[in-house]
Amino acid sequence: MKKNSELEKEITGFKKLLKITRRKLSEYENGELSFPGDLKPNQTEVDIQINMLKHKNDDLTAKLEAVSSKCQHLDEKNKCLQQELLSMKALQKKCEKLKNEKKKWKQEGINLKTHMEMNMVEFRELEQYKRKIEERARQDIEEKLEEVNLFLQTQAASQENLEQLRENHNAAMRNQLELRIKDLESELTKIKISQNSKEINLEKYKQLYLEEIESRKSLANILNKTNERLAELNTELLLQKQQNRSLLSTLHPKPGLEMPCVGNLNSSLVLYGNFTPRENLVVPTSRPQTSSKNMETYLIKMQQEFEKTLTRELKEDAAEFEAETYRACPVASTDQANSCQDLLLKTSREYAQILQKNYMI
């Protein structure tokens, strides 16, 4: 806007100069200026001056046309600029007006040819003045062109900077998206690995559960077999009890001499399920009548043998039960094995307490 205002001021100055020129030409036409008698030019000099004026007028016309074409060229460039250069259109209109005025001035110059013989000195001054105006106009146009070029270069540089900033922003966004995609891929891989690990653990736990079921079934079978053996043992003990009673009845007629271990033998042995006699107690079925002292000695000896046999059978059955327990659950965990062993030790202690209570071992 500032540049356009300066250009308008200069054009206004040109118009003022043209008005001054017109006024002088009108003075020539009206004959207000007079030459002295000795200074009046003849017809030949006037023709020469007129021809020179024509040539100068043609040169001035060509220069004005060149200036007009340059102004039009500037107008075409200004159309491509931003809104701040829209005011240059007014300059183009003013140039057109100047061109029309130039045509009028040309017509006035033609009229001036008829009046050049009045004042040659002023005509020369006018010619110099015109040259000065043309030179100033040319310099001003060159300066304006340089300013326009600088403005276009600045705009091009700013456009390049904008493109560079845009490319940098796009590159940064692409890098961020690539990093985000890599993070999501790594998280997806971790999720897949975790899912596979969970599936493997699930299969492992299923296998362990099936093995536990098999081990429980095996232990149930062992328990059933043990119960069957207990039933057989109970039957054998009843028979043994009857034999002992019959033996004692034959040896000693008094019922109060029955051994204390025989009465509770059945119930005590049922508490421990793995007791299986591997050696039968040797109890003689017939013995001659002896004295009471010999009978007591015999009973003590038989009780000691029974206690030794019972202790040996208890140890063997305990070892066998422990071995069968480990064979029944070979893939069980350490906690399960420890629990089985603790149960065995607890049962052994309870059985030892029962023996101490009932049989005084």
Q: C-alpha dihedral over 264, 267, 270, 276, to 10 degrees?
A: 30
> DSSP per residue over 55-114, as a string?
HHHHHHHHHHHHHHHHHHHHHHHHTTS-GGGTTHHHHHHHHHHHHHHHHHHHHHHHHHHT
Return the pLDDT at 172: 93
* pLDDT band per the 50, 70, 90 thresholds, residue 38: very low
Q: What is the pLDDT of residues 241-300, one digit of tens each?
A: 888 888 777 765 444 444 433 333 333 333 344 444 433 433 444 444 444 566 667 667
pLDDT at 184 over 50: yes
* pLDDT band per the 50, 70, 90 thresholds, residue 177: very high
Q: C-alpha dihedral over 78, 82, 86, 87, to 10 degrees?
A: -100
User: Are 289 and 300 a contacting pair, CB within 8 Å?
Assistant: no
- 79 versus 166: the higher-pLDDT residue is 166
Instruction: Please give the C-alpha separations between residue 116 and each of 19, 111, 113, 220, in angstroms, as whole numbers.
Output: 18, 9, 5, 147
Domain locations in the chain? 2-169, 200-358
Question: pTM for the complete prediction?
Answer: 0.26
Question: Taking all residues of the chain, what is their mean pLDDT, rounded to a whole number?
Answer: 69
Q: What is the pLDDT of residues 114-162, one digit of tens each?
A: 776 676 666 677 788 888 999 999 999 999 899 999 999 998 998 899 9
Minimum mean pLDDT range among 13-17, 102-106, 142-146, 273-277:
273-277
Which position has the token pair 């057109």? 96
Return the pLDDT at 261: 39
Return the pLDDT at 121: 62
Distance from C-alpha of 89 to C-alpha of 76, rounded to nearest angstrom: 9
Residue 205, amino acid: Y
Minimum mean pLDDT range among 91-105, 192-206, 334-348:
334-348
Instruction: Please give the C-alpha separations between residue 273 and each of 175, 293, 307, 325, 329, in angstroms, as whole numbers.
Output: 76, 37, 18, 14, 19
- 237 versus 282: the higher-pLDDT residue is 237
* pLDDT band per the 50, 70, 90 thresholds, residue 80: low
Three-class SS of 237-263: HHHHHHHHHHHHHHHCCCHHHCCHHHH
User: Are 328 and 215 a contacting pair, CB within 8 Å?
Assistant: yes
pLDDT at 176 over 90: yes
Q: What is the pLDDT of residues 297-320, one digit of tens each?
A: 766 776 677 667 766 766 676 666
Q: H or E stretch including 338?
A: helix 334-358
